[in-house]
């Protein structure tokens, strides 16, 4: 039996693949290796997986149905899917909106069509986002909250994926769990996210921009905690006709300026800070209610930023020196 993992060369995907392989799973990793950010980083992540017993890589775009749908026959032993591939980033959706609809809506649909063709499918776990909560002011964000006022196209495409999954659960009985990821950070993170951008600027003496004086708050979640939740959910299939959506976060809301202060300490340098108004695509605060995922699989994040940020900084410094 095998696990099909999309986004295998991605930040979270690589870590999930390593966790599955470590416990003896066979993993079929899929990734398009697109150029949204430096492909060298994606290939370096992939190099950590290739050659390991049980790992197979397929270079393919999840939105390409001619490439993806035949996998149902070629890999009919797949019993579980972890679908993480997507077009990420909130602000980039203002630059290339078509990329989001192609990857996050069409790509999600293709994966559902593939899933329903697999004869032994037990569970599909897919990545949604805390962005679906939009400008909600009730905290912490809970799965029962309204999510019909997205403030970015990225959020709208992620909510669309949830709704399509709901319909496929009803129509075809696909057992599915959607995970609303909050702000994930850690080693091998993405160059378009705050920890990387802040670190690079601090080390090069360039200013960093903190919106609203750094008072925006985020539920920063260390990647190892996220992986434990993803794998835990994978091991607890949803009922066939009852797709579920769960938060997966740290259940702590931290001001961005506090995050930067810990990062400064880890890097041994002070940041040059520039203040700016909050962009329309950004919300004031994110904060995950994680009672449901805890009840399902015992999910309990254990890594505060005072531990997680130094781990990221150590990796980042090593990466800058050439790995």
| Residue positions annotated with a catalytic role | 154
Say which residue the tokens 């599955």 belong to. Answer: 20
Is the separation of the CB atoms in 90 and 153 below 8 Å?
no
Which among 138, 139, 124, 131 is positioned nearest to 62, based on CA atoms? 124
Q: Could you give phi then psi for residue 102, rounded to 5 degrees?
A: -65, -50
Start-to-end CA span in the chain (Å): 34
- Per-residue burial over 287-321, b if 16 or more Cβ lie within 10 Å, else e, is bbbbebbbebbebebebebeebbebbbeebeebee
**For residues 108 and 84, what is the distance between their CA atoms, to the nearest angstrom?**
10
**For residues 249 and 181, what is the distance between their CA atoms, to the nearest angstrom?**
6
**For residues 323 and 316, what is the distance between their CA atoms, to the nearest angstrom?**
9
- Per-residue burial over 225-252, b if 16 or more Cβ lie within 10 Å, else e, is bbbbbbbbbbeebbeeeebbbbbbbbbb
β-bridge mates for residue 2, sequence order: 26, 78
Q: Dig out the tokens for 297 from the structure.
A: 């699989």
β-bridge mates for residue 56, sequence order: 28
Q: Residue 171 contacts by C-beta under 8 Å, 6 or more apart in sequence?
A: none
157 in helix, strand or coil?
Answer: helix
């Amino acid at each position: 039996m095998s696990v099909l993992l999309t986004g295998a060369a991605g930040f979270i995907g690589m870590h999930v693949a390593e966790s599955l392989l470590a416990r003896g799973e066979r993993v079929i990793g899929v990734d398009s290796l697109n150029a949204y950010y430096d492909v060298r980083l994606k290939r370096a992540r992939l190099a950590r997986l290739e050659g390991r017993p049980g790992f197979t890589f397929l270079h393919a775009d999840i939105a390409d149905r001619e490439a993806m749908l035949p996998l149902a026959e070629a890999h009919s032993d797949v019993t579980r899917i972890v679908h993480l591939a997507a077009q990420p980033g909130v602000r980039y959706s203002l630059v290339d909106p078509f990329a989001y609809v192609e990857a996050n809506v069409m790509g999600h649909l293709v994966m559902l069509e593939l899933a329903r063709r697999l004869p032994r499918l037990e569970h599909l776990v897919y990545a949604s986002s805390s962005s679906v909560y939009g400008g909600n002011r009730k905290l912490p964000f809970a799965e029962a909250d309204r999510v019909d006022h997205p403030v970015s196209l990225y959020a709208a495409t992620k909510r669309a994926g949830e709704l399509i999954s709901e319909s496929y659960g009803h129509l075809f009985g696909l057992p599915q769990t959607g995970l609303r990821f909050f702000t994930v950070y850690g080693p091998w993170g993405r160059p378009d996210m705050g920890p990387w951008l802040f670190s690079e600027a601090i080390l090069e003496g360039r200013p960093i921009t903190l919106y609203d004086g750094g008072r925006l708050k985020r539920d920063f979640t260390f990647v190892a905690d996220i992986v434990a939740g993803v794998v835990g959910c994978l091991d607890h299939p949803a009922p066939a006709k009852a797709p579920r959506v769960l938060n997966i976060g740290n259940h702590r809301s931290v001001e961005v300026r506090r995050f930067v202060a810990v990062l400064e300490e880890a890097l041994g340098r002070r940041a040059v800070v520039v203040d700016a108004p909050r962009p329309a695509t950004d919300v004031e605060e994110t904060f995950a209610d994680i009672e449901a995922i805890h009840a399902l699989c015992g999910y309990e994040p254990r890594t505060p930023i005072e531990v997680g940020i130094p781990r990221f900084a150590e990796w980042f410094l090593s990466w800058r020196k050439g790995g």
